[in-house]
A and B are shown apart, each in its own frame.
Chain A
Amino acid sequence: MRPSQVQIDFGSLPETPLRSPSSEFEEISYPTPPLHTIIPATARTDDSLPLHYMQSAEDTSTRRRVAKGPGSSGGFMSGSGYDTDALLQYNDHDHKDGHSKLRPPIGGRVSSGRLHKPYPTPPTSISDFIHQNLEHLPPAIYTLLSCWTRFHKIGLADIVVWDEAHFGKFGSHYLKREFYFDVHPPLGKMLVALAGLLSGYDGNFEFKSGEKYPAAVPYVAMRVMMATFGVALVPLGWYTAVELGLSPWACHLVALMILCDVAWLCISRFILLDSMLLFFTFTTVFFLTKFHNQQYHSFSFDWWLWLGLTGISIGCVTSVKWVGLFVTAVVGIYTIEDLWDKFGDLRMSTRNQLRHWSARILCLIILPILVYMASFKLHFLILNHTGPGDAQMSSLFQAHLVGNDFWKNPLEVAYGSKITLKNMGWGGGLLHSHVQTYPSGSNQQQVTCYHYKDDNNHWLVLPRWNEPAYNPNNELRFVKDGDVVRLQHPPTTRNLHSHPIPAPIAKSNYEVSCYGNSTVGDVQDHWVIEIVDDIRQGKKDNVNRIRSLTTRIRLRHDILGCYLSAANKVLPQWGFKQIEVSCVKESDPDDIHTYWNVESHWNDRLPPGDVKHYKSPFLRDFWHLNVAMMTSNNALIPDPDKDDILASHPTDWPWLRLGLRMCGWGDHQPKYYLLGTPLVWWGGALSLMVFVMLLGTYLVRWQRRYVDMDATGWAHFLYVGKVAFYGWFLHYAPFFIMGRVTYLHHYLPTLYFSVLMFGHVIDHCVFSARWKEKTKRVVFGVATFAIVANFWWFRGMAWGIEGPVNEYWGLQWRKSWNIYNA
């Protein structure tokens, strides 16, 4: 991550003999005055070009200089402006830790990002104005082009394409205000709903995959609004490249690559979350680079502005998809390095140190969390009707929802009541059983926790076997604390049962199954009811009967003494990915996974309950929903029994081994194929390798005291390289560790960093290097042409391939792509 130590080494005084004459490589005596310490006067006045760009001219004569390291800690923040008193200060011990101290700045400050420019005088004439803003012309043109590519033929497919089936549907839920459950945070879907609202969609379409949009659904308008996020990627990319201090040539290339990538284009044109995810990823990086360029103006208005915007942007990207945590990690690493550098600045006062720390904590931790929570608050506010996702939430939360009739439940549970039991653990479901049996262990009927409402969740509370059977005509008997009951599963008439057989996943617990029938059973079917407390009535001592919704109970097995528990362990395919239910031997009175409450309650002999309002605190619901999302997300693991043709492995991505058919492949429908522009993807992947090799070479040469770059050049090379490399790595490597199934579109945010790296490497090797102007022009021309031509060749992937696909020639660049029908 960092070179092993800092060598701020500025050579010796001119008259000092540099080294013994015996050293084996070429030496050129050190020129006076030192080249890199102060920005040349010319550069100060005419500074439209990044600094390292300016200096190339001087460097031509001295490719190899001796005894002058690249001279920076390699930190993001490292500048080199600290000079002459550092002469001959060797950091002379080989510690393994990059022990380094920044010396306080003396002369001019050198940024590793874009060169700081003095604010221009206000324009006095139109031509002045135009002149001053000429730099914004190219991004404006690119934005217009981007509008064209994103909006062109956007309504061609009048059917529900790909995951529009999910996200369109979720949008509808917001419009109908029905509570639903999904693994992604709500911000993106709320924006989809907003698009629907603005375009006059009433929310009454089911978004079944492949179905034709009826006239009432303004799908084109909705897609256009989603695509607008995609349009913004291009100018954001341009300005990010500018802020990173890349040369104009490289900025053009970066913007062109973003404009011309068909995968980004394709994914932005439908009602999906990806365009928003990409948008907020781009803004995060952009704000971060903006913030970096304020590094010598700490606590100025701009500094606070960009820091705060970075924080808000982090909050937004994480609220769209959890993948946003990766870009958060990039910001995190940047900030840690930044603070580490500041920590070593001995001239900075403790007060300022603290201010720096608290500013980051405020803007990069607290602010994003607030944004994230706000999106959930809004989510709960909008979705106030019952819907398909109810069962994921606590019973109390559900009781709030309009259309829910829990409050009609008879208040107190009696023998003969039919109930459903809800686990009170975060993300817990309803106690469930179905006719399928365990493949191992007892081979008896499975008992699981299930998140959807279903008759298989019903249980009858019956007296134990050695008591007279329940008779509906006898006097009512309420269930009390300490009662021993039998729970019968009405659809199969079997009884909830446990026995000393290890559970399928949590092997140290006992298995819970359903056994026997309404007449056959044994004492292993007996469960003792232990009341924990009641949310309304308070402590256990005040509670003698079980109330639905509010009373928390535990179920102890009468014989084994173990407790019925559901601890978010997901069963394999044979258990339909439902949650395992087992019986834990250790009694931990605080283990909420052993807490249950009665959710629905039916008993004809009891009067319906009163209309009551139960408060369910927001933070509790927020946390509950997040745990439930996490649990479901972890359950999305590849199924070894099912060959999912859409899924792909992370190793397939950088070299674009696979594409993805996004819709049906019939001859008479437009066909969309998620596939990147090969040159962009391959170029990005290649540039990452080139960067690592370049860095290795420079480090080895640095160890031998060859000087390839001055301090500024080195700092810039590292800064941009690190942003791009960390970004790419942190967006890529985690997919290898994650157990869940991965798809090609997971690489799309990652691709951005490889594109930045491409810009950086080509800038470093060509545009900012000592080539002739003509060579640079040729390289730029060839690269531009290749990217645009490559895009044009594959444009059909995103704009829709009409007619039989086999009539299009030359799309099969790799054998593994399944574009053509075999």
Chain B
Amino acid sequence: MASPGKIRNRKPFSTPRSDSYDQDDEDHVHAVYQRPTARSAFEQALDTPKASVAVVGVLTALAFALRFYKINHPDQVVFDEVHFGKFASYYILRQYYFDVHPPFAKLLFGLAGWFVGFDGHFTFDNIGDSYTENHVPYVGMRALPAILGSLTIPIIYAIMKETGHSTIIAAFSACIVLFDNAHVAQSRLILLDATLIFFMSLTIYSYIRFRKLRYWEFSVEWWSWLIATGFFMACAWGSKVNGILTVLTIGVAVLIDLWDILDIKKGHTLEHFWKHFLARALGLIVVPFIIYLSFFYVHFAVLTHSGPGDSFMSPAFQETLIGNELLMHSQELHYYDVITLKHRDTKVFLHSHPDRYPLQYDDGRISSQGQQVTGYGYEDANNHWQIIPTKALPEAGRGRVVQHEDTIQLLHMNTQTLLLTHDVASPLMPTNQEFTTWPKDDHSRHNDTLFYLDLIDGNAGDAWKSKSGHFRLIHVPTKVSMWTHTKQLPEWAFKQQEINGNKNAVEKSATWYVDEIVSTDGNNIDLAEINTPNEPKKLGFFRKFGELQLLMLQHNAGLTASHPYASSPINWPFLISGISFWTENDTQKQIYLIGNAVGWAICVIFIAIYVGIIGADVVARRRDIEAIPEHIRNRLWNSAGFFLLIWAVHYLPFFLMSRQLFIHHYLPSHLASALLAGSVLNFILSDTINFPISVAGRRTHMRPSEFADLGAKGPVVVGVFAVIMFAVFVFMAPLTFGTPGLDGDAVNSKRLLSSWTLHFAAKNT
């Protein structure tokens, strides 16, 4: 049925094709063969390898120059260097810390710091702390992101070249990032984003190389680029949590690819499909995961000492760290020990004093007028409680150790009364039960003084330990758990914290621990057990890894506190607001993270144009109008479409996140939009493109090639853009480099959008 002369003209399906791979979507019979030598002189000159090397050389040199320019300024802690510099010093000191980001980039900083002789004793406490006064070799540490940030430029260039764009277009995309103030500012400070972006661009590059080898499936090069993709992907993911979006991008691309392979028109067997599937599973799931795990392995191997991150972790984890307080002081508790109990979240002691609850509260409710039980933040003899058994005890031995799910009473030492709760509303919360005490000798309320001990993650028979044994105290008759919250009681209770019974017996925040053993029963305590500092315990790597991952996720989602420079994602592409990184009042210097206004505007406009072109193409073909030549459309959908996918996957998920978000989260997407902008510019300037770009296999039908030819207008247009972007970059450079200082009017003139909250602006009159 093939009708000659029609556009979609192809061999009938029935043709035996076992001997050849079709070049599938690049099959265009009508494509005109063009001689490479027929192109314009500019194109030919620029297309030679020498010219290409020269261009990329100049771009890279410029990138290094811009990112290393005055890298020693300011010699003070800037923005999140507070965190990431500090983490580097923890690696050097080998002290355990906790952070929401995976460790790879921070390990690199630790390594860089160690390399330049940083001893780790500077703590990066506040923005504005001086490096020079504290003898911190900060330039060496800042050099790492600056190098990675600079190397991103040739990678962008290479990505564009590999996807069939001409040299000048590749240079255009590279320039957008090269002259971008936000990328520069982010790359010359001790921050994670440069590492993330570097590895993300490497991932994209590797994946494109891998895709181009699809007719050489299972060859050595094919495998190499597949594994490389997986490796770099893991590095991106290991640098920052956001790197997971890179993984997601590749995941989506691979699914689309596999769906194509599955298509029966390709003539592949199912076995062949599974081979492809397994290869990708190996290269893009197994390998990255192993790499990712290995970062954590190194992380745990380096951080063997107790540090500021201890308290985030479970007791079992903490006991693996040298010098940990739990490890040093955690002891089993015995009946008749006198102890202090502390609330895990609010760090108050369980406290009681002879004062009583007032008969009637302000809102008219009535209390039991019992003795007050409160939460108190300071050491006090009224915090002492004795553990009273409710069962017969042996004279000595293990039987006297308090165990998980034992029923106990707590005796307040100073007033000799037992802790009690009952169905009376607490002073502040009508829904919760009041806690009070009851004389020890009055047995009329015996049942109400019974509590059972519910150790968190405890198993039957586990001993209750001080420090490490987190527990809930559940009231036996009413099943409420002892709980406290940050609200203060009024004057009658000296503004101490309210303790009440929470009806949710498994309430997470009702967790307490024994802070200290004040005195023991005496006779049957093995003194040796108390005094020897314990050896660090061992915990399997996977258990540690699992616990840390879970905590990272929880804390990442929990970062919801408002921040003056946080912004919502919709603002980012339009550069509505930036972040003030650093200011110095005397000289009126400031670093303000903001992108190159022209570069970002180009990106947004070109994304819009791309969406418009694609939309128009879909609509036109719906009406059977073929407006775009096949090979151009192919590249628009596949290459530029891939860039759009990267942009979308690195951007849209932020809309669903409720954590605090900053404009630097958009930088990976900005890079993708720079790639897309190159493709769109190519489409606007010319209807030629290098084609085909995939490496032909042994059995691939050779097709006539086409060559991109932008003529003279390419270099001119890109040159003009580059000059404008450079000019804007220089104009905004004082905000990026933090020098020189600006007077009020200069600040005003650089405030291109009224929403930028720059410091030292002159008063508007």
Tell whether A pairs with B: yes
Chain A residues within 8 Å of B, Cβ to Cβ: 4, 12, 16-20, 22, 24, 67, 87-90, 92-97, 99-101, 340, 343-344, 346, 507-508, 586, 643, 700, 703-705, 737, 822
Residues of B within 8 A of A99 (CB): 618, 621-622
Complex: how many Å from CA A12 to CA B14?
Answer: 9
Instruction: Report B16-30 CB contacts with A as 1/0, cut-off 8 Å.
Output: 111000001100000
- The answer to whether B8 touches A93 (Cβ under 8 A) is yes
Find the B residue at minimum CB distance from A89: B1
- The answer to whether B14 touches A94 (Cβ under 8 A) is no
B262 at interface (Cβ–Cβ under 8 A)? Answer: yes
Residues of A within 8 A of B263 (CB): 94, 703
- The answer to whether B264 touches A704 (Cβ under 8 A) is yes
Taking the nearest CB of chain B, how far is it from the CB of A31, in angstroms? Answer: 18
Complex: how many Å from CA A96 to CA B252?
Answer: 13
Instruction: Pick 5 A–B contacts, CB within 8 A, sort by A.
Output: A90-B10, A99-B618, A700-B262, A703-B259, A705-B264
Complex: how many Å from CA A22 to CA B16?
Answer: 9
Find the B residue at minimum CB distance from A507: B564
Taking the nearest CB of chain B, how far is it from the CB of A530, in angstroms? Answer: 18
Taking the nearest CB of chain A, how far is it from the CB of B583, in angstroms? Answer: 17
B630 at interface (Cβ–Cβ under 8 A)? Answer: yes
Residues of A within 8 A of B18 (CB): 20, 22
Contact with B623, one of A24, A97, A346, A586 (Cβ below 8 angstroms): A346
Residues of A within 8 A of B17 (CB): 20
Residues of A within 8 A of B458 (CB): none
B378 at interface (Cβ–Cβ under 8 A)? Answer: no
Given contacts A20-B18, A93-B8, A101-B624, contact A87 B1 (CB under 8 A): yes
A interface, over-half SS: loop
Residue with the highest number of chain A CB atoms closer than 10 Å, among B264, B431, B641: B264
Find the B residue at minimum CB distance from A19: B14
Q: Which of B610-641 contact A (CB under 8 A)?
A: 614, 618-619, 621-624, 630, 633, 637, 641
Contact with A24, one of B260, B269, B619, B757 (Cβ below 8 angstroms): B269
- The answer to whether B10 touches A704 (Cβ under 8 A) is no
Residues of A within 8 A of B10 (CB): 90, 92
Complex: how many Å from CA A346 to CA B431?
Answer: 68
Complex: how many Å from CA A16 to CA B14?
Answer: 8
Given contacts A99-B618, A344-B622, A344-B623, contact A88 B262 (CB under 8 A): no
Residues of A within 8 A of B431 (CB): 643
A-B contact count (CB 8 A): 71
Chain B interface residue count, Cβ-Cβ cutoff 8 angstroms: 37
- The answer to whether A343 touches B623 (Cβ under 8 A) is yes
B13 at interface (Cβ–Cβ under 8 A)? Answer: yes
Nearest 9 interchain pairs by C-beta: A88-B1, A344-B622, A705-B264, A20-B16, A703-B262, A94-B25, A97-B618, A92-B10, A99-B621
Complex: how many Å from CA A704 to CA B25?
Answer: 18
B49 at interface (Cβ–Cβ under 8 A)? Answer: no
Taking the nearest CB of chain B, how far is it from the CB of A419, in angstroms? Answer: 32
Taking the nearest CB of chain A, how far is it from the CB of B694, in angstroms? Answer: 14
Taking the nearest CB of chain B, how far is it from the CB of A341, in angstroms? Answer: 9
Residues of B within 8 A of A22 (CB): 16, 18
Residues of A within 8 A of B622 (CB): 99-101, 340, 343-344
Residue with the highest number of chain A CB atoms closer than 10 Å, among B263, B564, B624, B641: B263
B730 at interface (Cβ–Cβ under 8 A)? Answer: no
B522 at interface (Cβ–Cβ under 8 A)? Answer: no
Residues of B within 8 A of A643 (CB): 431
Find the B residue at minimum CB distance from A92: B10
Complex: how many Å from CA A576 to CA B16?
Answer: 77
Find the A residue at minimum CB distance from B273: A704
Taking the nearest CB of chain B, how far is it from the CB of A4, in angstroms? Answer: 8
Taking the nearest CB of chain B, how far is it from the CB of A658, in angstroms? Answer: 14
Complex: how many Å from CA A613 to CA B363?
Answer: 47
Known: A24-B269, A96-B637, A344-B622. 12 other contacts (CB 8 A): A24-B270, A93-B8, A94-B263, A96-B256, A97-B614, A100-B622, A101-B624, A346-B624, A703-B259, A703-B263, A704-B270, A705-B264
Complex: how many Å from CA A586 to CA B431?
Answer: 47
- The answer to whether A94 touches B8 (Cβ under 8 A) is no
Complex: how many Å from CA A16 to CA B12?
Answer: 11
B754 at interface (Cβ–Cβ under 8 A)? Answer: yes
Residues of B within 8 A of A704 (CB): 262, 264, 270
Complex: how many Å from CA A479 to CA B288?
Answer: 74
Taking the nearest CB of chain B, how far is it from the CB of A18, in angstroms? Answer: 7
Complex: how many Å from CA A94 to CA B618?
Answer: 13
Residues of A within 8 A of B1 (CB): 87-89
Residues of B within 8 A of A16 (CB): 14
Complex: how many Å from CA A586 to CA B757?
Answer: 13
Find the B residue at minimum CB distance from A344: B622
Residues of B within 8 A of A92 (CB): 8, 10
Residues of B within 8 A of A17 (CB): 14
Residue with the highest number of chain A CB atoms closer than 10 Å, among B13, B18, B259, B641: B13
Taking the nearest CB of chain B, how far is it from the CB of A491, in angstroms? Answer: 20
Taking the nearest CB of chain A, how far is it from the CB of B338, in angstroms? Answer: 35
- The answer to whether B618 touches A703 (Cβ under 8 A) is no
Given contacts A507-B564, A703-B262, contact A90 B13 (CB under 8 A): yes
Complex: how many Å from CA A97 to CA B396?
Answer: 79
Q: Which of B451-502 contact A (CB under 8 A)?
A: 479
- The answer to whether A18 touches B14 (Cβ under 8 A) is yes
Taking the nearest CB of chain B, how far is it from the CB of A560, in angstroms? Answer: 11
Complex: how many Å from CA A82 to CA B588?
Answer: 75
Find the A residue at minimum CB distance from B577: A508
Taking the nearest CB of chain A, how far is it from the CB of B249, in angstroms? Answer: 16
Complex: how many Å from CA A67 to CA B13?
Answer: 10
Find the B residue at minimum CB distance from A66: B264
Residues of A within 8 A of B264 (CB): 703-705
- The answer to whether B757 touches A508 (Cβ under 8 A) is yes
Taking the nearest CB of chain B, how far is it from the CB of A345, in angstroms? Answer: 9
Taking the nearest CB of chain B, how far is it from the CB of A768, in angstroms? Answer: 27
Complex: how many Å from CA A344 to CA B618?
Answer: 10
Given contacts A20-B18, A87-B1, A508-B757, contact A96 B270 (CB under 8 A): no
Taking the nearest CB of chain A, how far is it from the CB of B266, in angstroms? Answer: 10
Residues of A within 8 A of B479 (CB): 822
Residues of A within 8 A of B614 (CB): 97
Residues of A within 8 A of B256 (CB): 96
Given contacts A18-B14, A99-B618, A703-B263, contact A93 B623 (CB under 8 A): no
Complex: how many Å from CA A734 to CA B466?
Answer: 47
Q: Which of B435-464 contact A (CB under 8 A)?
A: none
Residues of A within 8 A of B754 (CB): 586
Q: Which of B10-65 contact A (CB under 8 A)?
A: 10, 12-14, 16-18, 24-25
Complex: how many Å from CA A348 to CA B15?
Answer: 36
Residues of A within 8 A of B12 (CB): 88
Find the A residue at minimum CB distance from B262: A703
Taking the nearest CB of chain A, how far is it from the CB of B12, in angstroms? Answer: 6
Residues of B within 8 A of A89 (CB): 1
Complex: how many Å from CA A89 to CA B1?
Answer: 8
Residues of B within 8 A of A508 (CB): 757
Residues of B within 8 A of A703 (CB): 259, 262-264
Q: Which of B574-626 contact A (CB under 8 A)?
A: 614, 618-619, 621-624
Residues of B within 8 A of A101 (CB): 622, 624
- The answer to whether B637 touches A95 (Cβ under 8 A) is yes
Q: Which of B247-288 contact A (CB under 8 A)?
A: 256, 259-260, 262-265, 269-270
Taking the nearest CB of chain B, how far is it from the CB of A159, in angstroms? Answer: 23
Complex: how many Å from CA A89 to CA B10?
Answer: 10
Taking the nearest CB of chain B, how far is it from the CB of A357, in angstroms? Answer: 14
Residues of A within 8 A of B8 (CB): 92-93
Residues of A within 8 A of B262 (CB): 700, 703-704
- The answer to whether B269 touches A94 (Cβ under 8 A) is no
Taking the nearest CB of chain B, how far is it from the CB of A310, in angstroms? Answer: 25
Find the A residue at minimum CB distance from B757: A508
Complex: how many Å from CA A643 to CA B500?
Answer: 15
- The answer to whether A88 touches B13 (Cβ under 8 A) is yes
- The answer to whether B623 touches A94 (Cβ under 8 A) is no
Instruction: Report B419-443 CB contacts with A as 1/0, cut-off 8 Å.
Output: 0000000000001000000000000
